[in-house]
Structure 1
Amino acid sequence: MNDEGDLLKEDIRDEGNETKASRMSKLRNTRKEVTKLHSFSTEIGEVDIANSKDNTGNSTQIPTAPQLSSRMKHIKQEMAKNHLQFVRFEATDLHGVSRSKSIPAHFFQEKVIHGVYMPRGYLELIPNPKDNEVDHIRATCFNSDIVLMPELSTFRVLPWAERTARVICDTFTVTGEPLLTSPRHIAKRQLSRLQDSGFSLFSAFIYDFCTFGVPEIINSKTISLPASALLNDHDQPFIQELVDGLYHTGANVESFSSSTRPGQMEICFLPEFGISSADNAFTFRTAVKEVARKYNYITSFFIETGFCNSGILSHSLWDVDGKKNMFCSSSGMEQLTTTGKKWLAGLLKHSAALSCLMAPAASCRKRYFKESKDLKESVPTTWAYNDNSCAFNIKCHGEKGTRIENKLGSATANPYLVLAATVAAGLDGLQRNDGVLAAPEDGTDLHQPKFSEIPLKLEDALMALEEDQCLRQALGETFIRYFVAMKKYELESEETDAERNKFLEYFI
């Protein structure tokens, strides 16, 4: 996927490698280039563009001025054809929830040039963070505005919202710097690192979610009943409209089915290259709520017992051109290649820290107990071939070839952070010389090393994330400090948040 904001990638480096003054100067100059491209695209704006994504979903390729012009022409045609009245400028907050501003359609071209302003606190969610908790580097004020700059290739008419379209945005400070706590920005940085190493990521999310009948009054004590009618295969208008709507926004659903509990559904997306898989998951998280309301349902990533549903990232590593799956050999052998085993070793090594980003609330981590009554502080990370009970399940069947399902995640996790952390951990495995991972059936303990224990308490997972130097460097010191501070703040009001999340559909 091309992206005008990707001009920034060459100037984004670890915060400690440059002086603040030189960073500010470079990023401001880059922002000017981005604005020029936006301006050029809206002034010319008279060529058509296909609505489809490129073959690789490459988020690091800089679009040319004619490409931007072509996108604006297509958008104008779509707006006229669908008689659009409003366009949502959407960005993800740290929890993966859409934060948007809707603007009248006739202001769209102007906002493409200058961006849309939004209070910074909408995305970072901590009021007045303490100086000793959050690094204020590159931030004049955490109560200031940020700027939403749209990625034009993500413009889509929303089938479930009347005469409305949306465009996914990247976020900048008012001084022109990318917001270092932006999950989408962090994910794109990791995909850029992966491309520089000669690889691309082919991935898809698999989500469980629950559907409840809407009660007359919603409050913290309300009990909602599961919409068990969804278990009948002949009576699924809600899920069918959801899947069809997602298709028209570019998020292709491979399958959907009822799951193990009443009102619980599973939805599997088709894999895509690059940032597109996380964009699809982000789109789904908003779509499922809006379509459900049309049928007098509410949807939740929590189940009725307060546990979180699962959110799985199925992924495989391909060459940079997207032509060869690097997890399986040309001879057709099912087991992981040496490259695949190194990637998996990285996931195992960093699984404690990964779990903090993928199960980011106390309710999420209940899944790791597996209903065991043993008083433990952690559980070992497990992996195996074609075993759905493991944290990392290597699936060797199907037309897509060998792939790894990262099952550490809950459905409440931010998909961009899940993608970014998985890439960062996998890359570390590729770049280290720790030997080849042994298979579980080999009778060794190499597949469950001591450092792969998963903490059961969120507090311990936060500590593991803080101590993981690889992820700190990859995701950025600013993000790590802010994320940890936010989670500690949330732990102080855990019970209240759990009730609010379940019934008001805000998922933390």
Structure 2
Amino acid sequence: MLSLDELRRLTTEGEIDTVIVAITDVQGRLQGKLLGAEFFVNEALSHGAEGCNYLLAVDVEMNTVEGYSMSSWETGYGDMVFSPDISTLRRIPWLPATALVVCDVLWTDGSPVVQSPRQILKRQMNRLSDQGLEAFIGTELEFITFNTSYEEAFDLGYQNLEPSNRYNVDYSLLGSTRVEPLMRKIRNSMAGAGFYVEGIKGECNPGQHELTFRYREALATCDNHSIFKYGAKAIAAQEDQAITFMAKYNQLEGNSCHIHLSLNDAEGKPAMVGDGEHGFSEIMEQFIAGLLATMPDLTYFLAPNINSYKRFAKGSFAPTAIAWGFDNRSCAVRVVGHGSSLRTEIRVGGADLNPYLATAALIAGGLHGIENKLECPPPVSGSAYDAEVQQLPTTLAEASELLDGSEFARTAFGDEVVDHYVNAAWIELEAFNQTVTDWERKRGFERL
């Protein structure tokens, strides 16, 4: 991490010549500009940098699409301001002489762009602060590595790619060390960018691995999460390899993003530990109850793509049931830890989620339970796949309809935010429904 004084000194000495100003878009991707370090220090630092407002209103292919109130041909596709958050300033070891700063997104009059994922999370954090609470999270991201480059993958139509491991390497030290040239560079680069690296392990799908970092305050973790995904792909590309964070790349295990979430009170003490049943505090019980009660309405924020819902399969280690349990990996909410480490692990999201939106949704859901003093249902023991409880939405269409009609979501986030992300879902659905897939051709070309 860098202070502003350090950046000025390193710029003067020529050790840093580029500053990336970055925002996170609807899809959870870092977008922005590479600025000359001298220009950033002398000018952009004080007034920000500008970017077209379509950055928060395009599809994954960067196509301008209809239905967004904040950005359209009718409004002229004007600018937004990238306002640097200097607390996020850091060096980027995988690029020479380069620093990066995460920005908030403002309108040119200085007012916040409420549809911006980072602003959405900050609003929910402020609501939580009003209750005397602060959220800490850690995200566990799974991904699949390939010995195929991104360019080769594109030319191959993303078929017949070569995974970095040929078999299930879950916890396999041999499987992990065989991909160490790439993984070591990623780990050490992230440490050099201010991350506290915990470790890495192999996973079930060929070429699949998981890298974890120490938990931090919610906003800092989400900033790091977005930087990590960008950095891991950039480093893989430098090695003529590729990484995918797709929720479900193939028929085997998908890529998850488990979110560990705990709360501290105003004095910095763990707020989920108490004298109640299971060693829970009243806040813990109400928080879990709120998560479960609002999960159907907020699933979109944890599973924002068509592909996301293909993870939700019985026996896949991805949940299907809206239930909680102790150290139970079949539940949507798994309670782990004890004493000061007691926390919730929300297992619904895939690696394709936007961390700001997902975390904002979890905080809003937990707050719903606290504010309404909801009663926590009993835990599920045994397989939640067979429990008689409410199920997660199974398609993007179902999840977007639940979000659209949710009075709770519209109260928690505001109509502008809900309408914006419902439109994002509809855009994806329309694009998918107009596409003829390889699966359809294979089944129908000769046999129908």
TM-score above 0.5: yes
Counterparts of 1:125 and 1:392 in 2: how far apart (Å)?
32
Shift of 1:401: 1.4
Shift of 1:136: 5.0
Alignment counterpart, residue 236 of structure 1, candidates 162, 165, 180: 180
Alignment counterpart, residue 438 of structure 1, candidates 378, 396, 412: 378
Shift of 1:433: 3.0
Alignment counterpart, residue 356 of structure 1, candidates 300, 303, 307: 300
Match of 1:345 in 2: 289
Shift of 1:262: 1.5
Match of 2:367 in 1: 427
| Other structure's SS at 2:186 match | helix
Match of 1:300 in 2: 244
Matched, 1:311 2:257: yes
Alignment counterpart, residue 17 of structure 2, candidates 74, 82, 85: 85
Shift of 1:280: 1.2
Counterparts of 2:120 and 2:73 in 1: how far apart (Å)?
17
- Cα deviation, 1:390-424, whole Å, max 9, x if unaligned, reads 11100035x85111011111100000001111100
CA shift in 2, pair 1:212/1:436, >3 Å:
closer
Contact 1:308 1:412 in 2 (8 A): no
Contact 1:328 1:334 in 2 (8 A): no
Alignment counterpart, residue 472 of structure 1, candidates 410, 421, 426: 410
Matched, 1:179 2:113: yes
Match of 1:146 in 2: 80
Shift of 1:143: 1.3
Matched, 1:261 2:212: no
Alignment counterpart, residue 189 of structure 1, candidates 123, 142, 148: 123
Match of 2:164 in 1: 227
Shift of 1:135: 4.1
Match of 2:92 in 1: 158
The AA in structure 2 aligned to 1:150 is: P
Counterparts of 1:441 and 1:371 in 2: how far apart (Å)?
15
Match of 1:384 in 2: 325
Counterparts of 1:125 and 1:462 in 2: how far apart (Å)?
17
Counterparts of 1:105 and 1:249 in 2: how far apart (Å)?
17
Match of 1:505 in 2: none
The AA in structure 1 aligned to 2:372 is: R
| Other structure's SS at 1:313 match | strand
Counterparts of 1:208 and 1:495 in 2: how far apart (Å)?
28
Counterparts of 2:161 and 2:397 in 1: how far apart (Å)?
31
Q: What does 1:395-414 align with in structure 2 at a 5 Å threshold?
A: 395-397=336-338, 401-414=341-354
Identical-pair percentage: 26
Counterparts of 1:222 and 1:429 in 2: how far apart (Å)?
45
RMSD (CA atoms): 3.0
Contact 1:335 1:396 in 2 (8 A): no
- Cα deviation, 1:294-319, whole Å, max 9, x if unaligned, reads 22211101254177510111011111
CA shift in 2, pair 1:492/1:383, >3 Å:
same
Shift of 1:493: 2.3
What TM-score comes out, normalization by structure 2 length? 0.85
Contact 2:265 2:271 in 1 (8 A): yes
Shift of 1:293: 1.6
- Cα deviation, 1:187-242, whole Å, max 9, x if unaligned, reads 01111111111001111100100111225632325431101188242651211221
Match of 1:416 in 2: 356
Alignment counterpart, residue 52 of structure 2, candidates 104, 107, 119: 119
Match of 2:169 in 1: none
Match of 1:40 in 2: none
Counterparts of 1:250 and 1:347 in 2: how far apart (Å)?
31
Alignment counterpart, residue 103 of structure 2, candidates 169, 185, 190: 169
Contact 2:331 2:347 in 1 (8 A): yes
CA shift in 2, pair 1:476/1:160, >3 Å:
same
Alignment counterpart, residue 493 of structure 1, candidates 431, 434, 439: 431
Matched, 1:210 2:126: no
CA shift in 2, pair 1:315/1:344, >3 Å:
same
Match of 2:442 in 1: none
Contact 2:320 2:332 in 1 (8 A): no
Contact 1:128 1:143 in 2 (8 A): no
- Cα deviation, 1:258-298, whole Å, max 9, x if unaligned, reads 11122101111211123111111111111110111222211
The AA in structure 2 aligned to 1:228 is: N
| Other structure's SS at 1:190 match | helix
| Other structure's SS at 2:121 match | helix
Alignment counterpart, residue 28 of structure 2, candidates 74, 96, 99: 96
Counterparts of 2:243 and 2:433 in 1: how far apart (Å)?
20
Counterparts of 1:160 and 1:496 in 2: how far apart (Å)?
39
| Other structure's SS at 1:381 match | strand
CA shift in 2, pair 1:125/1:142, >3 Å:
farther
Match of 1:327 in 2: 272
CA shift in 2, pair 1:497/1:257, >3 Å:
farther
| Unpaired segments ≥5 residues, structure 1 | 1-50, 53-70, 373-377, 500-508
Contact 1:350 1:468 in 2 (8 A): no
Contact 1:358 1:408 in 2 (8 A): yes
Bigger shift: 211-220 or 183-192?
211-220
- Cα deviation, 1:370-406, whole Å, max 9, x if unaligned, reads 379xxxxx95312100111211100035x85111011
Shift of 1:353: 2.0
What TM-score comes out, normalization by structure 1 length? 0.75
| Other structure's SS at 1:95 match | coil
Counterparts of 1:498 and 1:413 in 2: how far apart (Å)?
25
Counterparts of 1:99 and 1:422 in 2: how far apart (Å)?
25
The count of aligned residue pairs is 416
The AA in structure 1 aligned to 2:88 is: T
The AA in structure 2 aligned to 1:167 is: V
CA shift in 2, pair 1:424/1:139, >3 Å:
farther
Shift of 1:88: 0.5
Match of 2:196 in 1: 252
| Other structure's SS at 1:342 match | helix
The AA in structure 2 aligned to 1:223 is: N
Counterparts of 2:340 and 2:96 in 1: how far apart (Å)?
37
| Other structure's SS at 2:120 match | helix
Counterparts of 2:65 and 2:107 in 1: how far apart (Å)?
17
Contact 1:187 1:417 in 2 (8 A): yes
Shift of 1:125: 0.9
The AA in structure 1 aligned to 2:334 is: N
CA shift in 2, pair 1:498/1:301, >3 Å:
farther
Match of 1:273 in 2: 217
Counterparts of 2:399 and 2:373 in 1: how far apart (Å)?
26
Match of 1:370 in 2: 314
